[in-house]
Structure 1
Amino acid sequence: MPTLPRNKLVGSKWTAVVPRNREKHFLVLRWVEPEDDSPPELLELEAVHSGRRFTLPWRELKDASRWLQGWKRASEDSG
């Protein structure tokens, strides 16, 4: 898996390998700032289809079995 530069994650587009609730394409909105002085570990994502927002540990985006970088169509997912 290629490295994910932390400074370029905000604004990036992602495709869920296994969509849920017809939500497949997501946009990274922002880093969620922790309450202490530690570096942020959570990202806020928004589903393009529904507008639903949720947080996700940024390292989970490295898991190619769950996430693909960019917005992919079904025919692109397998190759």
Structure 2
Amino acid sequence: MSKWTAVTPLRKEKHFIVSSAIRPDDDKHPVEQFVLQAVHSGNAQVIHWRELLNEDQWIQGWK
């Protein structure tokens, strides 16, 4: 349930919470995708964990 801030908000969606992890079919593989849910609208999107490392798009925590 980590918190993230979009650097460039779209549709007033700036603050997000990781609401769940998408588990791979094979338990030998690590989790790579997560569901981010916008706090303002409740809209959800699937995101690869590597995208969250892009500081041009995401900041960890709420700013």
Superposed pair shares fold, TM > 0.5: yes
Runs of 4+ in structure 1 off by over 2 angstroms are none
Matched, 1:67 2:58: yes
Structure of higher RCO (CA pairs closer than 8 Å, 6+ residues apart): 2
Matched, 1:14 2:14: no
Q: Which one-letter code corresponds to 2:21 in the other structure?
A: W
Matched, 1:27 2:53: no
User: Identity of paired residues, percent?
Assistant: 52
Q: As a proportion of its length, which structure holds more strand?
A: 2
- Within the candidate set 27, 35, 39, 1:44 is matched to 35
* Partner Cα separation in structure 2 for residue 39 and residue 69 of structure 1: 21
- Specify every segment of 5 or more residues in structure 2 that has no aligned partner in the other structure, as ranges: none
For these two proteins, the number of residue pairs brought into alignment is: 62
- Specify every segment of 5 or more residues in structure 1 that has no aligned partner in the other structure, as ranges: 1-10, 73-79
- Within the candidate set 47, 52, 62, 1:56 is matched to 47
C-alpha root-mean-square deviation of aligned residues, in Å? 0.9
* Partner Cα separation in structure 1 for residue 3 and residue 30 of structure 2: 22
